[in-house]
Amino acid sequence: MRASYLRTIVSGLLVWALVFSTFAVFDLSGMDMPLQGILILLLMPLYAFTGAWFLYRKGARLPGWVAGVLATCTALVMDALVTVPLLEIPRGGSYALFFTNGLLWALAGMNLTTVWVYWRWRIFPVTATRSAKAFS
């Protein structure tokens, strides 16, 4: 079970790295923030799906909501440790501005929901079938 939690944390790091690098590329290109937000919102399900695939491909058994919460919390911790001090504060931002941004919470909710949906469609039917066969 510990391996599942560790893989979930790594999955959260993977999703954070994908979102962080996408924001960095968009920012370097001079794209304005509302357009960046729209594009990231469109890419987030793909990133979260990739993270969920990485997590569950080796047979992790964590329920989707647990994995989603843990992966999302991992990404939020990375935002607090890396994104805000290195990117937001030098631009005149703050932790308060960053963590009260609606886009951040929309992305966090989308990540959690996508991981749960992946688990529900790809993992849960298999484990439910195995459990049903065990009782037959």
- What are the extents of the domains in the chain? 2-131
- For residue range 21-70, what is the model confidence (pLDDT) as tens digits? 998 898 888 888 889 889 999 999 999 999 999 999 988 889 999 999 99
Burial letters 83-99, b for 16+ CB under 10 A, else e: bbeebbeeeeeeeeebe
| pLDDT in the model for residue 39 | 93
N- to C-terminal Cα separation, the chain: 26
